[in-house]
Amino acid sequence: MVGVLHLGPASGPGAARCWPGGAWQARPGPDLGFAGEAASGCWSCAAPAVTVVVVRGVPWWGVVSSAAAPVLMVAGWTVAAGLQPRSFDPVAQPVSVLAAPGAADRWVMTLTFLVVGACDVVTGISLRPARAPGRLILMAAAAAGVLVAVNPEHPGTSFPLPHMIWTAAGCAALVAWPAGAWRRGPSVPWGLRPAVSAGAVTVLLALLAWFGAELITGGGQAGLAERVFGAAQALWPLAVVVSCRRAARAGPGPGPVPGLNRSGARPAVDA
């Protein structure tokens, strides 16, 4: 979760104040008023608002889920491919073939889709430093992945519509979620910064376009393109989680926060 501290005119019960000793705390109770606050040495007059973003880390179970997703994804399609006849070509054939009816031990890839989807849901819940839209989109992508497993591609079907719909929805959500998760601020983790998030969207979109082009043109590398895209989209939530953990561990930098030393800077917490 990211707490946003607005430094500007604010008052009222529960407002954050600079208490003697320099600690910022949100304390319940009646407002001391301008005179009482000025007497404490915290402020004396109004000042322009300044926003400070306070980053809180991702819980340990979010680290586990985000790290497990790419490992399980790669291990799942590797094991499932190894169980297929020698005619299976992992470079040319997409991963969904491994979960299709008629595939050898198709339950391996089906279970992989389900478990990785569950991991992404847990990661979305744990990514409290990210904005809510991005977290919800990531969880929606996980739900689409589960529906892909429930609606496999049937051999001999030219247009497996349910499979195609949920695959397209899941891929679009996996590409879009970084755009809904970014935040602004000097202390925002690097994985959630606007420029980095835009770069992630661009890379994922390019890989998805490659996969789509391979499917449409029959270029012979659809399996490779899908695996590269799948690995990249599975690794990005882990990268964001790691950046959030590092930012939370580092804490605020030394020295005064801009705006706090100005006469009359009055903070209020915006949850």
The answer on 97 and 69 residing in a single domain is yes
The answer on 66 and 33 residing in a single domain is no
98 versus 263: which is more confidently predicted? 98
In whole angstroms, how large is the CA radius of gyration of the chain? Answer: 24
The answer on 108 and 6 residing in a single domain is no
Residue 107 neighbours by CB under 8 Å, 6+ apart: none
If you write DSSP's letter for every residue of 44-83 in order, what string do you get? Answer: SS----EEEEEE-PPPHHHHHHHHHHHHHHHHHHHHHHHT
What are the CA-CA distances from residue 259 to residues 6, 8, 50, 235, 266 (Å)? 10, 9, 6, 38, 10
Flag whether pLDDT at 19 surpasses 50: no
The answer on 143 and 44 residing in a single domain is no
The answer on 185 and 146 residing in a single domain is yes
Domain that holds residue 80: 60-250
Closest among 13, 42, 40, 38 to 27, alpha carbons compared: 13
Determine the pLDDT at residue 56: 59
pTM beyond 0.85, yes or no: no
pLDDT digits (tens, 9 = 90+) for 157-181: 777 889 999 999 999 999 999 999 9
Q: Using 50, 70 and 90 to split pLDDT, how confident is the model at 249?
A: confident
The answer on 69 and 188 residing in a single domain is yes
The answer on 122 and 51 residing in a single domain is no
**Residue 209 phi, psi (nearest 5):** -65, -40
Determine the pLDDT at residue 177: 97
Total domains in the chain come to 2
Average pLDDT in the 91-111 region? 92
The answer on 198 and 149 residing in a single domain is yes
The answer on 102 and 36 residing in a single domain is no
Answer yes or no: are the C-beta atoms of 234 and 222 closer than 8 Å: no
The answer on 89 and 16 residing in a single domain is no
The answer on 229 and 213 residing in a single domain is yes
The answer on 22 and 131 residing in a single domain is no
